[in-house]
Each structure stands twice: as structure tokens, then as C-alpha cells.
Amino acid sequence: MFHKEGHKIIVITFIITVVLSLLVNHFVTTEWLRISLLLTFMVLLVAILQFFRNPKRSVTPDEDHILSPVDGKVVVIEEVFEKEYFKEKRLQISVFMSPLNVHVTRFPVGGNIVFSEYHSGKYLVAWHPKSSEENERTTVVINTDRFGDILYRQIAGAMAKRIVNYAQEGEHAVQADESGFIKFGSRVDVFLPLDAKVKVSLNEKVKGGISILATK
């Protein structure tokens, strides 16, 4: 199953792959070169299909858990001053996504969406310390009964040139449901209350909508 954000790119890539393959078969007579080019086209097509895959995940919402919003690796666990919304100290957990990860963003908690904002910006590498404040990004805040306000931020990376955010203020977020998509490598920051109990460690691999980042 492939994500809707990739349907157009997949069709275009498929058509280009077919056309180039036909041209190579017709005009390239050197056997090793022809096979090398055809394999290259196939690898690129498979890479695009892999990137836009969207595996189904069955999750039972649990208000006591804050789930990872994306697949990837935990690269930050620290106390920081969140400037945009809370304007106070929060516990930040950041998950970095490589181009090989599933890039669907999911709601880490369920509740009312009270804030959703898009910011244009730079395209620093996603693990850069300033990427959370200077890169293209979206900030979403969900009000929960158990944890209060939980903020997560989609951040574009050096390769990611488009962030898709489905979260709209005033709507209700269902935990683990799709909330957006980031095209190519990037990261997502989650800002939690200082008393949240972290259940992941640095460099741990997590899955969106499944892995538990923290509990109360």
C-alpha cells in the first residue's frame, strides 16, 4: 500500500522508467551498459516505491501513552526551552527519519487540536541543533486529558522539500491516525511535560503509532 502523497510521483516515475528502458533497449547495443542502465532505472523505481510505502497499523488508543509520531531513530532526549507555544521548559524527544524510513506522520496522542502553524525556513540537515527553529516546519499542539498540551513539530531536512500537515485547529485528533507526511529525510520533535516518564533511549529505533515515547 502506498501513501496518497506519492501517487503522482510514483506514476510519473513509472512512466519515465518505462520510456527510458525502451529507449535503452533500442539504442544501446553494448550489453553490459544496457543491463547496467536498466538495473539503475529499476533500483530508482523501487526506491521511490519504498519511500512512499504506507503499512497499515492497528493501534488501540491509550491515553496513558505518548506514541512516536514517526518511524526512525531517537536522536535527542533533553530538557529545553520551547519558544513558540509554551514559552517554558519542556522535555524534548526527537526522532530522525532517513530516506529508508516510512515517512507518514501520526498523532502521538488523542485530543483536541488547539494549535497548527506552518513556518517557511531553511533546509539545514535534520540533525542540526538549529533545524527545529530555523528549518521549514509545522507545529501542532494537541490538548489531552492526561498530559495537558502535547506539541509535535515536523521539520524539513536537507532533502525534504515539502511538509504535508493534515492537523487543523478545532478538530479532534485520534491517536496514531495519520496527521501528515514529510517527503524525504527529516525529523519530528515532540515536547512533553517535564514530569513525563521517558520510555526510549538515544539511538533507539522506533515505529510511528506503535513505540511508546513516554508515560505519565
User: Which residue shows C-alpha cell 515536523?
Assistant: 154
List residues bridging with 104 in a β-sheet: 181
**Distance, CA of 157 to CA of 160 (rounded, Å):** 5
**Distance, CA of 179 to CA of 139 (rounded, Å):** 12
Catalytic hit among 94, 131, 186, 211: 186
Alpha-carbon dihedral of residues 82, 105, 138, 11, nearest 10 degrees? 160
Residue-wise DSSP of 143-210: EETTTEEEEEEEEE-SS---EEE---TTSEEPTTSEEEEE-SSEEEEEEE-TT-EE---TT-EE-TTT
Element (H, E) at 118: strand 111-119
Catalytic site includes residue 186 = yes
Tell me if 74 sits within 8 A of 204, measured CB to CB: yes
Tell me if 88 sits within 8 A of 82, measured CB to CB: yes
Active site residues: 186
